Structure 1
Amino acid sequence: MIRVLSRVLVAAAMAMLVAGGAQAADQKQPIKIGAMFALSGPAAHIGTPTKLVAEMAVAQINKAGGINGRPLELIIGDTESDPAKAATIAKKFIHSDKVAAIIGPTTTGAGMQVKKIVEEAGVPTFMCVGGDPVIMGGKFGPFTNVFKSPQRSSVAVKALFTYLKEKKITKLGLLYASDSFGKDGASWLEKMAPDYGITFVAKESFGPKDTDMTAQLTKIKSAGPDAVICWGTNPGPAVVSKNAQQLGLSIPLYQSHGVASPKFIELAGDSAEGTLLPTGKILVHDLLPDADPQKAVLADYAKNYTAAFKQPVSGFGGYAYDAVHILAKALKGTGGDKEKLRKNIESIKGHVGVSGVFSFSPEEHNGLAPDAFVMVRIQKGAWELVK
Structure 2
Amino acid sequence: MRRTAPARAAALLAALTLGLAACAESESGGGGGGGGAADESGPIKIGAVLDITGAGASLGVPERQALELLASQLQEEGGIDGREVELIIEDNQSTEDGAAKAINKLVNEDEVDLVLGASRTGPSLAMRPVAESNQIPMISLAANQAIVDGSEWVFKTAQNDRVVIERMIDYMADQGHTTIGLARDASGFGEGVQEMFDEIGAAEGISVVAAEKFAPDATDFTAQMVNLRNAAADINVIWGIPPAAGLAQQAYVQLGIAAPVMQSHGIGNQVFLDTAGDSAEGLVAPLGRLVVADQLPEDDPQADVINEFVEAYTAEYDQGPSTFAGHAYDGWQLAIDALREVGTDKQAVRDHLEGLEDVVGISGTFTMSPDDHSGLTKEALVLVTVENGAWKLLPDQGTGG
Q: Same fold (TM over 0.5)?
A: yes
The answer to whether residue 347 in structure 2 is matched with residue 339 in structure 1 is yes
Aligned-residue Cα RMSD (Å) equals 1.4
Name the structure where helix makes up a greater proportion of residues: 1
The answer to whether residue 368 in structure 2 is matched with residue 355 in structure 1 is no
Q: Is the 8 A contact 2:141 2:328 kept in 1?
A: yes
Counting aligned pairs with the same residue, the percent is 34
| Cα deviation, residue 167, structure 1 | 1.1
* C-alpha distance in structure 1 between counterparts of 2:364 and 2:187, whole Å: 26
Q: Which residue of 2 aligns with 1:213?
A: 221
State the 4+ residue runs in structure 1 displaced beyond 6 angstroms. Answer: none
Q: Is the 8 A contact 1:229 1:253 kept in 2?
A: yes
| Cα deviation, residue 61, structure 1 | 2.4
| Cα deviation, residue 334, structure 1 | 3.0
* C-alpha distance in structure 2 between counterparts of 1:197 and 1:65, whole Å: 56
After TM superposition, the structure 1 = structure 2 runs for residues 171-182 of structure 1, keeping only pairs within 5 Å, are: 171-182=179-190
Residue in structure 2 matching 1:162, options 162, 166, 170: 170
The answer to whether residue 241 in structure 2 is matched with residue 227 in structure 1 is no
The answer to whether residue 293 in structure 2 is matched with residue 285 in structure 1 is yes
* C-alpha distance in structure 2 between counterparts of 1:78 and 1:224, whole Å: 41
SS of 2:192's equivalent? helix
Q: Judging changes above 3 Å, is the alpha-carbon distance between structure 1 residues 208 and 366 closer, same or farther for their aligned structure 2 residues?
A: same
| Cα deviation, residue 378, structure 1 | 0.5
> Is the deviation greater in 149-158 or in 212-221?
212-221
Q: Which residue of 1 aligns with 2:385?
A: 377
Q: Which residue of 1 aligns with 2:66?
A: 53
Q: Judging changes above 3 Å, is the alpha-carbon distance between structure 1 residues 333 and 211 closer, same or farther for their aligned structure 2 residues?
A: closer
Q: Is the 8 A contact 2:343 2:349 kept in 1?
A: no
> Is the deviation greater in 58-67 or in 154-163?
58-67
After TM superposition, the structure 1 = structure 2 runs for residues 200-279 of structure 1, keeping only pairs within 5 Å, are: 200-279=208-287
Q: Is the 8 A contact 1:68 1:333 kept in 2?
A: no
Q: Which residue of 2 aligns with 1:145?
A: 153
Q: Which runs of 5+ in 2 are unaligned?
A: 1-38, 397-401
Q: Which structure is higher in RCO with an 8 Å CA cutoff and minimum separation 6?
A: 2
Q: Which residue of 2 aligns with 1:43?
A: 56
**If the length of structure 2 is used for normalisation, what is the TM-score?**
0.86
* C-alpha distance in structure 2 between counterparts of 1:187 and 1:258, whole Å: 18
> Is the deviation greater in 263-272 or in 192-201?
192-201
The answer to whether residue 305 in structure 2 is matched with residue 297 in structure 1 is yes
SS of 1:203's equivalent? strand
* Counterpart code for 2:338: A
Q: Which residue of 2 aligns with 1:69?
A: 82
* C-alpha distance in structure 1 between counterparts of 2:340 and 2:392, whole Å: 39
**If the length of structure 1 is used for normalisation, what is the TM-score?**
0.89
> Is the deviation greater in 327-336 or in 283-292?
327-336
| Cα deviation, residue 220, structure 1 | 1.7
Q: Is the 8 A contact 2:197 2:207 kept in 1?
A: no
* C-alpha distance in structure 1 between counterparts of 2:372 and 2:179, whole Å: 33
User: 1:154-212 CA deviation, whole Å, 9 max, x = no partner?
Assistant: 00001111111111111221111111101233332232121222122222112222222
Q: Which runs of 5+ in 1 are unaligned?
A: 1-25
How many residue pairs get matched? Answer: 357
Residue in structure 2 matching 1:33, options 46, 51, 56: 46
* C-alpha distance in structure 2 between counterparts of 1:131 and 1:255, whole Å: 16
| Cα deviation, residue 98, structure 1 | 0.7
* Counterpart code for 2:312: N
Q: Is the 8 A contact 1:173 1:229 kept in 2?
A: yes
Q: Is the 8 A contact 2:198 2:206 kept in 1?
A: no
The answer to whether residue 112 in structure 2 is matched with residue 95 in structure 1 is no
| Cα deviation, residue 312, structure 1 | 2.7
